[in-house]
Amino acid sequence: MASPAVVRRLGKPAVFLAALLPALLLVADTLRDRLGANPIETITHRTGWWALTLLLVALAVTPLRRVTGWNGVARYRRMLGLFAFTYVVLHFLTYLVLDQFFAWSFIVEDVMDRPYITVGFTTFVLLIPLAVTSTRGWIRRLGPRWQRLHRLAYVAAAGGVFHFLWLVKADTREPVLFGVALVTLLALRLRRRPRRAAARAPAAPARSSKPVEAAS
């Protein structure tokens, strides 16, 4: 079994390579012409799938830390979140450049008239401030507001699930599984809140065991 020092030293590079691997495989499949009959659709699906997967994995870090007591896992959360945003950007650029080729009038019409694109675009916009404020400098500047802002990650993940669900139409198994995972993570987070509230509540004053004398 690897020592904690080895895990700390190799953990981040391992997570980085694991998160980068889907993009490398996508590039390799593109160069070898292995994207099937509809390459744009394949790229769109794979970048979107990995964006949602990594976003949920990033959201799972805190519940995992609380359940297992492994505090070291928290050091991977920002990296996973930024990789999720990277795949979202690739997903959006695939639609913008390869699918629509900067046809802005059609893009605006799509965003306005097609619900799954509306939700997908909204999700992308929500993730931008989360990516921008992921640095330690922004954490210090925003203080307690940083945590409130980054709760939008759950909203963005929900948007990603609905975007996927409306996109596939027929076979909904994968988006449903993503939805179940998101609901589970949200339930674990909400379950923690009553315990925090109870811990912060002031203790009730102890009752005196001395009997109260009757007034004369």
Alpha carbon 26 to its chain's center: 21
pTM beyond 0.85: the answer is no
Please say if the pLDDT value at position 9 is more than 50. Answer: yes
Q: What pLDDT is attached to residue 190?
A: 82
Q: Which numeric CATH code is attached to 8-190?
A: 1.20.120
Query: What pLDDT, in 10s, does the model give residues 29-68?
Result: 999 999 988 999 999 999 999 999 999 999 999 888 888 8
b/e burial code for range 158-170 (CB count within 10 A of at least 16 → b): bbbbbbbbbbeee
Residue 135: which residues within 8 A CB-CB, separation 6 or more? none
Residue 2: which residues within 8 A CB-CB, separation 6 or more? 10
Structure tokens at 69: 């007591």
